[in-house]
Amino acid sequence: ERSRLARLRHTPAVTLDGERIELLANIEMPEDAPVALEAGSAGVGLFRSEFLFMGRGIDLPDEEEQYGAYRRAVEGMNGLPVTIRTVDIGADKPLEGMTQSELRHESVLNPALGLRAIRWSLSEPSMFRRQLRALFRAAAHGPVKILIPMLGSAHEIRQTLEQVALVQRQLSESGKPIGKVQLGAMIEVPAAALTLPIFLKHFDFLSIGTNDLIQYTLAIDRADEAVAHLYDPWHPAVLNLVYQTIQQANAAGRGVSVCGEMAGDPAFTELLLAMGLRSFSMHPTQVAAVKQRVLRADTRRLAGAVDIVLASDEPEKAWAEAQVAGGAPA
């Protein structure tokens, strides 16, 4: 079993019909890079940078500390691409001892709808620029992509791009070495998924955060046990938004990945492939299981079933039936 898994690690993720699939890892700290490599991932699709900020009170990391951490992650991946998400603070990832009383106030009633992620970064622009500077500097040491969480409107996109441009100017004046970065947006709010042309116009790539997309589409708090039975990745509304996002990004020639739990769940591998997804980012422990699915999948055979599944009021059942009818290998 061990040697079979070791062999699998070095097997390229290619489907039966020859489609090359990118399997990436989600990490929380630079020290996770060896784990991502060991799992056989082709890079990091989501480095949740907020973990550098959490559990340390108001002693937030400065530019140098962040630069060091991002650089370690980049160097640890030996030249493979590393997608680093700017802080997704707030909601289920609170900062203890925050000095901003606004944040504490907003958190009381409805933290998931409050000042979290890019909203928080834009409310603390010097903090945001500090992080962006560290990221551009880390990019001098290997391929870095910057990913912005929770964007929902053209207004936020404009403000974000202004900060990025300002940081690039500051850095080029300072003469510090920086690297080229690709800039991407998380699609995890229905408003974003329903206005994709705006996102495709301004960003190099998209990454679908299904964990939050499910939460916000279905109005189900992802952390609330009382409604956990209603948190349904198979809900047709969710599947339609995921499908539209993949299709429109592919049509525009932009990279698109899924980095929520759905990407690491083998039950969704074939469906996501059939929808046109070619890049998946997941917890390192899931890479082997998803790769096994990829190796046995034929993307042409199941593509026709997507429409049936999207129109069904029981998509999970419809998909299972389509696989049996399509003779998908066991």
**Active-site annotation, residues:** 259
Say whether 211 counts as a known binding-site residue: yes
Partner interacting with residue 48 (select from ligand PEP, Mg ion, none; CB below 5-8 Å by kind) = ligand PEP
Task: Pick the piece of the chain touching Mg ion (CB under 5 A) from 38-46, 75-83, 121-129, 211-219.
Answer: 211-219
Asked if residue 222 belongs to a known ligand binding site, the reply is yes
CA dihedral 190, 195, 200, 201 (to 10 degrees): -140
Other CB atoms within 10 Å distance of the CB of residue 141: 18
Residue 190 amino acid letter: P
Which region among 129-137, 210-218, 303-311, 319-327 touches ligand PEP (by CB under 6 A)?
210-218
Of 49-88, binders to ligand PEP (CB under 6 A) are: 88
Among 188, 221, 270, 298, interactor with ligand PEP by CB under 6 A: 188
Nearest approach, Cβ of residue 242 and ligand PEP (Å): 11
Residues 10-49, one symbol each (x = binds ligand PEP by CB under 6 A, - = not), give ------------------------------------x-x-
The listed partner (ligand PEP, Mg ion, none) that binds 111, CB under 5 to 8 Å by sort, is: none
Q: How far apart are CA 83 and CA 77, in angstroms?
A: 11
Q: Does 50 bind Mg ion (CB under 5 A)?
A: no
Among 299, 306, 307, CA closest to 328: 299
x-or-dash pattern for Mg ion, window 169-208, by CB under 5 A?
A: -------------------x--------------------
Using the minimum distance from each CB to Mg ion, give the nearer residue, 27 or 318.
Answer: 27
Q: How far is CA 267 from CA 93, 172, 234, 271, 320, in A?
A: 27, 47, 10, 8, 10
221 binds ligand PEP (CB under 6 A): no
The answer to whether the annotation marks 48 as part of a ligand binding site is yes
CB nearer Mg ion, residue 37 or residue 157: 157
d(CA 59, CA 277): 40
Question: Quick one: 110 or 174, whose CB is closer to ligand PEP?
Answer: 110
- The number of residues that bind ligand PEP (CB under 6 A) is 10
Cβ proximity to Mg ion: between 19 and 265 the closer is 265
Distance from chain centroid for Cα 303 = 24
259 binds, among ligand PEP, Mg ion, none (CB under 5 to 8 A by kind): ligand PEP
> Of these, 170, 211, 292, 312, which contacts ligand PEP (CB under 6 A)?
211
Name the phi and psi angles at 281, rounded to 5.
-125, 130
Q: Is 62 annotated as a binding residue?
A: no
Per-residue contact flags (x/-) with ligand PEP for residues 83 to 122, judged by CB under 6 A: -----x----------------------------------
Give the footprint of ligand PEP on this chain (CB under 6 A).
46, 48, 88, 188, 209-212, 259-260
